[in-house]
Amino acid sequence: MTTVSIIGNGNMGTAIGTLVTDGGNAVEFIGREAAPIAGEIVVLAVPHPALADIVAVHGPALAGKIVVDITNPLDFATFDSLVVDADGSAAADLATALPESRVLKGFNTNFAATLAAKRVGDAQTTVLVSGDDADAKRLVTDVFTAGGVKVVDAGALKRARELEALGFLQLTLAVQEKTSWAGGFSLTA
């Protein structure tokens, strides 16, 4: 059994936590304040602006852990751009800030409703994951596949830029009511 610690208990954190327990694994929810972290996998289910505070508060406790960044680094004031360098990503920035952690990007192209339903329309929900640590990606894949979603390896951490762009597009479409918050993208064979 794998323990997954989730920082953030909003819609996304709750949906991800349910996937963990549906797969027979253990979940713990942690606040943003300093606290022991039991999980081998730590999911940062918070808005992008909270990442700096989480690194400041939890950084040492995240050493050696698999850290999954689910954020979309968009300009929430305008919803018209990402707030990271054109050739970078929030996940890459997080990996730099947490050099002793194994940082992955994942879940940022999913809405909570599609994780809870495990479906996007008629297709199984697909979680795209990128990162540079094959063992970390394998464990995350095992935990969440057991929970009932499809997990696809989207490549190295440098692919997080494209995942964040896709997440940005999906969010802007939902805000403009061109897609529903229960819709989204899925990969089919």
User: In angstroms, rounded to a whole number, what is the distance separating the alpha carbons of residues 3 and 24?
Assistant: 10
Cα dist. 145→96, 125, 174 in Å? 28, 10, 26
For the stretch 14-68, pLDDT in tens is 999 999 999 999 999 998 888 999 999 999 999 999 999 999 999 999 999 999 9
- List beta partners, residue 127: 151
Please say whether the beta carbons of 42 and 100 come within 8 A.
no
The HSE-up count of residue 54 (CA atoms within 13 Å, CB side) is 26
| Strand pairing class (126-131; 102-106) | antiparallel
- Please state the pTM of the whole predicted model: 0.95
What class is the 3-175 domain?
A: alpha beta
User: In angstroms, rounded to a whole number, what is the distance separating the alpha carbons of residues 40 and 28?
Assistant: 11
User: In angstroms, rounded to a whole number, what is the distance separating the alpha carbons of residues 186 and 169?
Assistant: 14
For the stretch 115-159, pLDDT in tens is 999 999 999 999 999 999 999 999 999 999 999 999 999 999 999
The residue extents of the domains of the chain are 3-175
